[in-house]
Amino acid sequence: MNLTEARYNESNLVKDMLATAGMGEGFDCSQMTETAAAVKTAGKLFMTGEGSSRIFPAKHAIKVALQRGYGLQLQTEAGKQAQEYRLDDWAVFGLSNSGRTAEVIQLFSQLKDAGHSHLYSLSAFEDTKLESLATRGYVLSCGKEGAVAATKSVIEQGLFYQALLEHVAGQPTLAGKTADLAAKMTTAMTSTIDPVITDKIANARLICFSGRNDGVAEELALKTNEITRKPSDYFEGTYGVHGVEEVLDAADVVIWIDPYEDQEEKFEEVLVKGVGLTIVAIASRDTIFPTIRIPDAGDLSGYVEMAAGWNILVEVGTSLGINLDKPERARKVGNEFIG
């Protein structure tokens, strides 16, 4: 995708996506140091939100923290289920672009009424209902998104959590990597997608994403519904060869994010040869499948993988003649707090 052709430059969604790199490069990696000290004292961080405000930011943060061995106790759950948990001694962080997400506000109201003193929020606007319930509130720098589907805010939320955890661990390295990461994301977003791949995905009955439980594939499955209007599913880890093949068929496509190299032949045997479907990989190396190559960003590759996935979905959506900015039913605020 690019901004030199009318089918792209007229889309607010594309503009939001391409603005992500510049926002990331200028991201303030030190704004959360005070809260990081409080989280370190608590030793436990619970990250909540709904949909795009939780899937990638929280799960990617947990993956990176575990890979780096931070030793901090981390957990994530959606706001409604979290209301059933004992979170007395946890630092709780709530993400909501609007600051009006009902499930998160209900959770924060419950915790504040119980005297909880470690509640933190991140929203796209100042003076929101959620911020009024928080011990400390933060505001995204990316600005309001022009499209319904959340994109640049998802990346900034992910950067915020990552920088927060780096400060908690006493290893603040993100600031020195944002410029390089921004360049790699731009490359992934603007690389040309083989039209054969685009057509195959556009004509699929079901578009599935497979990958690690780090929020990337799961978030892209959600974006598939919003952007392409096609049904989608997410196969965590190697779940794609553990029974789901029974209901897949040759009209389906699986987009595999950073395939496990030692599992490629198994996926080919079960899904390509067994079902007859197509697997497309997004990876920094060649695979045995048609592969969309992306720059290697180490343990920050999730951001680049997300950008590549957006690129695919925009190409599919535009090829289908879809208005990328206006889903027929999806809303910017999925479940708005009234009160």
186-242 tens-digit pLDDT: 999 999 999 999 999 999 999 999 999 999 999 999 999 999 999 999 999 999 999
Residue 328: per-residue pLDDT = 67
Residue 337: per-residue pLDDT = 58
The angle, 0 to 180 degrees and rounded to 10, between the axes of the packed helices 301-319 and 152-169 is: 170
- Phi and psi, residue 294, nearest 5°: -130, 160
CATH superfamily of 182-319: Glucose-6-phosphate isomerase like protein; domain 1 (3.40.50.10490)
Residue 21: per-residue pLDDT = 87
Residue 269 DSSP symbol: I
Q: Give the Cα separation of 178 and 284 in Å (integer).
A: 19
pLDDT averaged over every residue in the chain = 95
Q: Give the Cα separation of 29 and 12 in Å (integer).
A: 27
Residue 233: per-residue pLDDT = 97
Q: Give the Cα separation of 76 and 292 in Å (integer).
A: 30
Q: By the 8 A CB rule, do 124 and 143 touch?
A: yes
| DSSP helix/strand/coil, 1 | coil
E-assigned strands of 126-262? 136-139, 207-211, 232-236, 253-257
- Taking alpha carbons only, the member of 285, 280, 310 closest to residue 296 is 285
Q: Give the Cα separation of 211 and 218 in Å (integer).
A: 8
- Assigned token pair, 244: 């789901």
Q: Give the Cα separation of 285 and 20 in Å (integer).
A: 24
Q: By the 8 A CB rule, do 137 and 155 touch?
A: no
- Assigned token pair, 276: 């007859």
Predicted structure pTM score: 0.95
Residue 332: per-residue pLDDT = 57
Q: Which H/E stretch holds residue 299? A: none
Instruction: Please provide the CATH number assigned to the domain covering 30-171.
Output: 3.40.50.10490
CA 271 to chain centre: 26
Q: Which H/E stretch holds residue 122? A: strand 119-123
Residue 329: per-residue pLDDT = 61
pLDDT (tens place) for every residue of the chain, 339 residues total: 887 888 888 899 999 999 998 888 899 999 999 999 999 999 999 999 999 999 999 999 999 999 999 999 999 999 999 999 999 999 999 999 999 999 999 999 999 999 999 999 999 999 999 999 999 999 999 988 898 889 999 999 999 999 999 999 999 999 999 999 999 999 999 999 999 999 999 999 999 999 999 999 999 999 999 999 999 999 999 999 999 999 999 999 999 999 999 999 999 999 999 999 999 999 999 999 999 999 999 999 999 999 999 999 999 999 999 999 887 666 556 676 576
What residues does CATH 3.40.50.10490 cover in the chain? Answer: 30-171, 182-319
Query: Widest CA span of the chain, in angstroms?
Result: 58
Residue 73 DSSP symbol: E
Residue 12: per-residue pLDDT = 94
| DSSP helix/strand/coil, 279 | strand
Region of 298 (left: φ > 0; alpha: ψ -120 to 50; beta: rest) is left
Residue 56: per-residue pLDDT = 98
Residue 168: per-residue pLDDT = 98
